[in-house]
């Protein structure tokens, strides 16, 4: 028997989505990608080095940008949704 989404209220659908998100939050630990596109990480790291060379210092947030680029590179863009869900 196939059920149509039209048979459910918005509240029921939202409750089901919340239930699934909670399961994913508890059990769905991200895994590293098999193949990565390291272009973002390379670019951010190069900008860090270039800025340090030109100015002799980097902004306080620069390390955070490198960290974020590394996680995105190795785990994909969706990693941030998972990370943010862990703090809810």
Rounded to the nearest angstrom, the gap between the alpha carbon of residue 29 and the centroid of all alpha carbons in its chain is 12
Name the residue with tokens 């089901």. Answer: 16
Query: Which tens digit of pLDDT belongs to each residue from 4-43?
Result: 788 888 898 888 888 777 776 666 788 899 999 999 999 9
Q: Note the pLDDT of residue 69.
A: 96
pLDDT at 1 over 60: no
Residue 22 lies in a domain: yes
Q: How many CA atoms, within 13 angstroms, populate the side-chain half-sphere of residue 44?
A: 17
Q: Which two tokens stand for residue 39?
A: 């272009």
Q: Note the pLDDT of residue 56.
A: 94
Maximum alpha-carbon separation in the chain: 67
Query: Which tens digit of pLDDT belongs to each residue from 62-85?
Result: 999 999 999 999 999 889 988 888
Range of the domain at 47: 7-86
Residue 2 lies in a domain: no
Q: Note the pLDDT of residue 5.
A: 80
Residue 77 lies in a domain: yes
Number of domains in the chain: 1
Contacts of residue 16, defined as CB under 8 A and 6 or more positions apart, other chains included, come to 8
DSSP state of 77: T
């Amino acid at each position: 028997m196939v059920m149509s989404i039209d048979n459910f209220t918005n509240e029921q659908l939202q409750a089901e989505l919340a239930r699934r998100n909670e399961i994913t939050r508890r059990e769905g630990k991200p895994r590293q990608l098999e193949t990565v596109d390291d272009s973002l990480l390379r670019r951010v790291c190069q900008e860090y080095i270039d800025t340090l060379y030109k100015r002799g210092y980097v902004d306080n947030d620069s390390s955070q940008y490198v960290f974020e680029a590394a996680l995105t590179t190795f785990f994909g863009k969706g990693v941030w949704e998972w990370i943010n869900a862990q703090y809810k």
